[in-house]
Structure 1
Amino acid sequence: MRRIIFGIMLLGCMVQGAFAQNLGIKGLVRDSQNKEPLEFANVVLQTMDSMFITGTTTDEKGNFVLDKMKSGDYLLAVSSLGYETQYVSLKGFNKSVTLGDIPMENASVSLDGVTVSASNTSSRSDRKLVFPSDRQVKASTNGMDLLQQLMLPKIQVNPLSNEIKIPGNGEVQLRINGVKVELDEVKALLPSDIIRLEYHDNPGLRYGNAEVVLDYIVRRPETGGSFSVDMSQGVNALWGEHRVSGKINHKKSEFGASYRIGPRDFYGLSRDNEEIFHLGDGTVLHRKEEGEPAHGRMFMHNLNLNYSVQDQEKYLFNATFRYWSNHQPHWDYRGILSNQENLSDYVDMVDLNSSDNQVPALDLYYQRNLKNDQTLVFNVVGTYNRTSSHRFYQESRGEDLLTDINNRVSGNKYSVIGEGIYEKKLGNGNRLSTGIRHTQSFSNNEYRNGHDYNTRMNQSESFLYGEFKGKARKLDYTLGVGVSRSYYKQDGTDDSYQYYTFNPRFTLQYALPGQSFIRLRGYVGNSSPSLGNLSAIEQVIDSLQLQRGNPQLEAYMRYRLALTYEYQKGIFYTNLDGAYEYLPNPIMDEKYQEGNKIIQTWDNQKNWQRLTGSAMFRIGPIKDILQFSFTGGVNHYISNGNTYSHRYTNWYCEAQASLTWKKFMLMYQMNTNWNWFWGETLEGGENIQMFMARYNHKNLSLGVGAINPFSDNYKVKTENWNQYASYKKAMYIKESSRLFVVSLTYNFSFGRTYKAGQKRLNNADNDSGVMSTGK
């Protein structure tokens, strides 16, 4: 009997002990601002001395469960990309517990030393925080490669022309830690150093008229440095992209340098051009230019030297010297011009062009972090833009020289941009910012073409703005207003203007269930005439056409309204975007008769409108191997001039796929041309296809690829629909089709410990101030 009672007591103790060891923890993780559940958040249970016990992730409704736990003292850590990690103390844990809601606060996450296994996007009302996955980092060799892998809405990466564009000809600003940079500085970034990409598809007033801002947030080591070599070379043509860069860090200081050269040498450059002229005497001339292979050669150089010093809690000073050069000794066209009404009436034509452009710039930046979440920033940029060009054009019949044009242009432009910004965080995601920017430009240009012209011009832009970002439950809103002043004066003439404009802007973004939102954005901007178009000079184009500047041009306004819907769930992502733009009195091209000559010029026309829509679908990565995206869109243009009215609709699409397996990467990209219609001129985009295969081993990457492998020629089309002088033109580069490329990249770095402070301004002057001419 005693044995039975003892056995029952022992069994009871064992059952009680078993239940005591089967404890559970439940909870619900939410965004603290919009109260939406966070799916795929990481939940880790650890001891008080940070030893890992177990972990899980939240489901699509934000719930998590940890079971079969033992009693003890624990610390629960909840983390998600784009949010501050939250810690819950479970000291004396001895029974199952339901924690309820765990709110997650937004944060600019550094992620130093963290490997992201799957790409993650955290949306804000003014930007997206895009965290590249480990797969995407390993598949990339530089910052531009990584951008291709991320497959962001609107973004089109063109490795052939070395450009990053968006449909519709909008402005794309590139930044590193907040400061505007050139593409070559982005290409000098090591993918492993990139913490995240901040994709501003709703940029504020400080960014001017930019439609998209891409800000690379990168790490900054305290000691050590890095070295990188990136080389891509055409096998069957002289086409290359070669870069070397390095950084050295010591305590608070960082020294950096990069150099890039991009050679191009083509012997299959040609042009076809069909023109119809209605001359002042009532005659009509229909002629066609049939191009012959000619020479195109250019060398692009970029040098960047940088020094910065920072105390991450107090200040950051940065000095950057940039030098950009494009030497183009040959961009030549040869062919036959024939009268289509009488094919025996033809002439030989040569159109030889050369140019040289050099732009050194010095950028000084200082940021001071003040008390109570305040920031003060100053930025000064000085630029010298030196331009020279030579155009030699002849039409001849046998030994008889019928047309002889020899244009030489030399330009010198000096500019200084100064800017100051004050920002104050007000809590709960609210922010107040205000700033002032002033640009002062002087140009001195010489034109030699049988007549000698000298122009001296003075142009300035001032802009003062204030902006408030706030939140009301699920609605994020941004309200801003700016006031701008534009001034222009041409020495030796009475030509001048002074304008003041009012620039309001608003954004309303409403959070929908899951990771989706709808956003309405509207703004009013302004545009000033370019110095080249304002020049009071005349240049000869060919035997029938002249080009004249127009000093009477006036600044004009821009009105834009855009609606965006975005949805993301797991590996699926969709972005739908539509916009309407209206520009009254825009500066657009026009032509008119003057005797038996056609005059090309610019004027303030009636209005220009564009309706645009796009849809993007992305899936991936599938099992961390395959990622695919497709974008389709349309642009409908309405161009109403003083003497013309045109309509044009352009459909375009883009597809991209990326496959990564172990150390191998395979990428395919296809773009159909998106075209831009402005005034009476249609500028066609390029049809591009590209394959790339790459093998990565530690710090070394070897690749092979093909550009436009299924086409026997590369072409860009341009049309003009003017009633007096219309044309249909196509430019060909034989070597840019079926161009096979080999690449080699070597990256080496050491001593990575923490990220750089963020620079916040973006100033540059890329307008040479020179009027260009040619066919």
Structure 2
Amino acid sequence: MHNKAITLSIIVAFATTSFAKTGTDSVSITEISGPIPTDTTMTDIMLGEITVKAPRVLHKADMDVLYPSETAVKSSQNGISLLKFLMIPTLTVNELTGSVRSSGQDVEIRINGRKASSDQLQTIQPSTIKRVEWIDDAGLRYGDATAVLNIIVTNPSFGGSLMTQGMQSLNQAWGNGYADLKINHGRSQWAIGAVGRYTNHIDSHREYSETFTRPDDTAVTRTETPLGGYLSMTNLTPKMSYNYINPEKTVVWIGVNLNKEWPTVRSNTGLLSLSSGDGNIILHEKESRSGLRPKFNAYVEHNLPHSQTIALDIDTSVLNGRSVHDYRESNPYEDVITDVHTSIKDRQQNISIEGNYIKRFNDKRLTAGAQYSGSRSRAERESGSLSRQRQERAYMFSEYFQRVGKVSLTAGIGAQYSHISIGENDDTETSSWALRPRIAASYRLNNSSQFRLSLTSRTSTPTPSQTDTGIQQIDGFQYQIGNPDLYAYNTYSIKMQYNFTFPRITGQLDGRWNRAPHAIAPFMTWEGDRLVTSFENSRGHTSWQIALSPQVDIVPGMITAKGTIRLYTAKSTGTGYAHTFRCISGDASVTATYRGFILSASYESNPSTLWGETVSRSEQLSTIMAGYRWKGFTFIGGLFMPFTRYSMGSESLNRYNTNRNMLRSSGFDRMPVVQIAYNFNWGKQKRASQKLINAEDDMQQSTAAGR
């Protein structure tokens, strides 16, 4: 660890020295006297008939605001590809997988303030994106989100747009695509489209070994030699939406979609060898999940006199799904030793209602809101057992922002009430109250340096799988059962951040501390010949992380490179264990553009994390892509995993079951892909609807327990 600290110090010292030696900034920005309004929707400041354009990156007190350059817009075929050209230092975007992450965690995406998905981001015309708001320290109004990416777009008042895209592997049954049509008339816009992905029997295998230790310290080790396996995942989401805009007064947005997920399958076959020498075992294991989810969302926003806004958001959905786990052991003569089949049929209903009130002043802002979310779940097994669960949550908050000279202060508090009922007649009930204070401060030393500090908390509730009292058999002697006595827990966080903006070099240095005193985690016990996994509110989880994320304009307007290096340490304690884990992770990417030609390469070593007694090892990804844009067409070819082998997995540190599970896929390694996209739009431009708040149902499907 000492050597790691020295390495990081050298990197920081080198970066600081480089900054000091750099010349003056070539960008000239007109100074504006007087306070700038705190409304984040402002992009330009009108001075008579003169418009002062904002800089490419504007570091505000609570967010970074980025304005796409003309080169970035011309080089992008949709919203998600534009994010890559913005080169936000801590943001990692992968067009092949559709992932948008920061520090290894998924980023909450919003379009005009309305929560969206990366699939929806793909159907945005780059030319309609007015600015991007990057909030990597989300406030109370964003709930449990740790980072938020808000895309502010405009849309034609007359005419419309058509966007299509298809990506296909040249040697595997893998691909994705979308089609989206928007029609505008006056203050109304209609949109219809679909997004889909398919992965069909991609070759994969599992590297697996485990050691079982009984209470009397006798142990046996089983090592799995892979014989084969595959991955499959196919889904399709048709969607429709309508929005009405009465400028400066009222906005209405209504949307429906239907997500169909065909069985997402992970299948493995292996040869188990036992340290006891009892003979080899042929193992077949298969996990699958499928479902159908219709969803409806309605949003209304109305501006009142004296810079006041009220907004209401309603979101509801229904899930009908199935989760299946099959586990079979046999000897070389195909005599069955163990045969386990678990099938869970799910039905879940969810609704979320949220209302916000915002009052703006010259250098102040007051935000208050309330949210209710409720879910009903019913899980039925083929064996006939039935589990029912009801969860309700009420959340209220108020947050106040004020600027005082070079310092901006935010203070707020939220209160959350959680209630969980389990059983046909609410046989088991738990409820809890939790306060969620938040304090944040921002100080701008000069035009090149900004410091941020925040203290926050968030509340997490048990999932249906963690509280399900139905017994699930995993293999010959492993079982899982939920704990209905689990209760919600709080996570407390401190974040310190330094943003630097120097000529041709920008970036961020941040440190984070998280503490969850009663985090929910699995634990294992022997009950006779059975090894049973259940869940508990543990004695706590603590993590520390420090990250440096520089970005360099190698050739301004043509070649840009960025990267991140992270040091992560975590400690978890619970029944019979206390573990400490450390890792180094990072990512790097370079993008070059010239007269319609595009070249990009990326490498991601996502962070491994410790939770309870499990170390989760995230995906290791790399890509290289080259393309050309001609009129409305984009042609791209590239390789997935050109520099690394695809891998992701986990390790169990439990004293009774120590195992290592690593998934690899030869099908993804050096997989060639081609993409063709076509964009066409017509009509005049106007301001698009903005959705200031979002009510989102938190749907968690039951999962058949597996290894």
When the two structures are superposed, what TM-score results if normalisation uses the length of structure 2?
A: 0.92
Structure 1 match to 2:13? none
Shift of 1:159: 3.4
Structure 2 match to 1:594? 527
Structure 2 match to 1:468? 400
Query: Can you give the 5+ residue segments of structure 1 that lack an aligned partner in the other structure?
Result: 1-37, 42-56, 64-80, 90-103, 112-118
Determine if contact 1:279/1:596 at 8 Å carries over to the other structure: no
Determine if contact 1:692/1:704 at 8 Å carries over to the other structure: yes
SS of aligned partner of 1:409:
strand
Shift of 1:766: 4.3
Shift of 1:327: 1.1
Calculate percent identity across the aligned residue pairs: 25
Aligned residues: 674
Shift of 1:609: 0.4
Determine if contact 1:386/1:768 at 8 Å carries over to the other structure: no
Structure 2 match to 1:179? 114
- The aligned amino acid for 2:421 is K
Q: CA-to-partner distance for each residue in 1:529-586, whole Å, 9 max, x for gaps? A: 1122111111011012101111010111111000000111232102101011111011
SS of aligned partner of 1:773:
coil
Q: CA-to-partner distance for each residue in 1:686-729, whole Å, 9 max, x for gaps? A: 22111000101110110101011234x42212100000011001
Distance in 2 (alpha carbons) for counterparts of 1:431 and 1:702: 46
SS of aligned partner of 1:615:
strand
Distance in 1 (alpha carbons) for counterparts of 2:359 and 2:132: 23
- The aligned amino acid for 1:378 is L
Structure 2 match to 1:31? none
Asked if 1:504 is matched to 2:437, the reply is yes
Distance in 1 (alpha carbons) for counterparts of 2:619 and 2:700: 25
Distance in 2 (alpha carbons) for counterparts of 1:565 and 1:265: 45
Distance in 2 (alpha carbons) for counterparts of 1:175 and 1:544: 46
Structure 2 match to 1:705? 638
Distance in 1 (alpha carbons) for counterparts of 2:665 and 2:412: 46
More displaced 10-residue stretch of structure 1: 507-516 or 248-257: 507-516
The RMSD of aligned alpha carbons is: 2.1
Distance in 1 (alpha carbons) for counterparts of 2:649 and 2:344: 27
- The aligned amino acid for 1:396 is S
Determine if contact 1:224/1:249 at 8 Å carries over to the other structure: yes
Structure 2 match to 1:100? none
Determine if contact 2:343/2:704 at 8 Å carries over to the other structure: no
SS of aligned partner of 1:185:
helix
Structure 1 match to 2:456? 523
Aligned with 2:95 (options 159, 165, 181): 159
Structure 2 match to 1:309? 244
Determine if contact 2:90/2:102 at 8 Å carries over to the other structure: yes
Aligned with 1:431 (options 341, 361, 365): 365
Distance in 2 (alpha carbons) for counterparts of 1:621 and 1:324: 43
Asked if 1:772 is matched to 2:707, the reply is no
Aligned with 2:150 (options 178, 190, 215): 215
SS of aligned partner of 1:206:
helix
More displaced 10-residue stretch of structure 1: 489-498 or 360-369: 489-498
Distance in 2 (alpha carbons) for counterparts of 1:683 and 1:40: 45
Distance in 1 (alpha carbons) for counterparts of 2:86 and 2:590: 11
Shift of 1:440: 1.1
Shift of 1:209: 1.5
Aligned with 2:414 (options 482, 489, 514): 482
Aligned with 2:330 (options 376, 392, 396): 396
Distance in 2 (alpha carbons) for counterparts of 1:708 and 1:769: 31
- The aligned amino acid for 2:47 is Q
SS of aligned partner of 2:361:
strand
Structure 1 match to 2:12? none
Alignment of 1:125-144 (within 5 A): 125-144=61-80
Alignment of 1:244-643 (within 5 A): 244-280=179-215, 282-328=217-263, 330-342=265-277, 345-397=279-331, 398-427=333-362, 429-448=363-382, 451-492=383-424, 494-620=427-553, 622-643=555-576
Evaluate the alpha carbon distance shift between residue 651 and residue 700 of structure 1 in structure 2; reply closer, same or farther with a 3 A threshold: same
Shift of 1:194: 0.8
Distance in 1 (alpha carbons) for counterparts of 2:613 and 2:205: 24
SS of aligned partner of 1:582:
strand
Evaluate the alpha carbon distance shift between residue 248 and residue 147 of structure 1 in structure 2; reply closer, same or farther with a 3 A threshold: same
Shift of 1:166: 2.1
Shift of 1:85: 2.9
Report 1 or 2 for greater relative contact order, CA contacts < 8 Å, sequence distance ≥ 6: 2
Moved over 6 A (4+): 38-41
Structure 2 match to 1:722? 654
Aligned with 2:131 (options 181, 196, 210): 196
When the two structures are superposed, what TM-score results if normalisation uses the length of structure 1?
A: 0.84
Determine if contact 1:221/1:753 at 8 Å carries over to the other structure: yes
More displaced 10-residue stretch of structure 1: 324-333 or 596-605: 324-333
Structure 1 match to 2:160? 225
Distance in 2 (alpha carbons) for counterparts of 1:650 and 1:208: 29
Aligned with 1:658 (options 575, 580, 591): 591
Distance in 1 (alpha carbons) for counterparts of 2:95 and 2:186: 37
Structure 2 match to 1:676? 609
Determine if contact 1:441/1:460 at 8 Å carries over to the other structure: yes
Determine if contact 2:541/2:571 at 8 Å carries over to the other structure: yes
Shift of 1:749: 0.2
Evaluate the alpha carbon distance shift between residue 707 and residue 443 of structure 1 in structure 2; reply closer, same or farther with a 3 A threshold: same
Shift of 1:588: 0.9
Shift of 1:769: 4.2
Shift of 1:346: 1.1
Shift of 1:172: 1.8
Distance in 1 (alpha carbons) for counterparts of 2:316 and 2:610: 34
Structure 1 match to 2:47? 86
Aligned with 2:57 (options 121, 125, 136): 121
Distance in 1 (alpha carbons) for counterparts of 2:237 and 2:567: 35
Shift of 1:230: 1.0
Distance in 2 (alpha carbons) for counterparts of 1:769 and 1:697: 44
Q: CA-to-partner distance for each residue in 1:350-384, whole Å, 9 max, x for gaps? A: 11233212221100100001111100101111111
Determine if contact 2:25/2:502 at 8 Å carries over to the other structure: no
Determine if contact 1:39/1:62 at 8 Å carries over to the other structure: no
Determine if contact 1:568/1:574 at 8 Å carries over to the other structure: yes
Q: CA-to-partner distance for each residue in 1:94-138, whole Å, 9 max, x for gaps? A: xxxxxxxxxx99xxx8x9xxxxxxx70111111111111111112
Structure (1 or 2) with the larger CA radius of gyration: 1
Evaluate the alpha carbon distance shift between residue 195 and residue 267 of structure 1 in structure 2; reply closer, same or farther with a 3 A threshold: closer
Distance in 1 (alpha carbons) for counterparts of 2:680 and 2:381: 49
SS of aligned partner of 1:137:
helix
Shift of 1:280: 4.8
Distance in 2 (alpha carbons) for counterparts of 1:420 and 1:88: 38
SS of aligned partner of 2:163:
strand
SS of aligned partner of 1:532:
helix
Structure 2 match to 1:743? 675
- The aligned amino acid for 2:197 is G
- The aligned amino acid for 2:86 is L
- The aligned amino acid for 1:610 is S
SS of aligned partner of 1:518:
strand
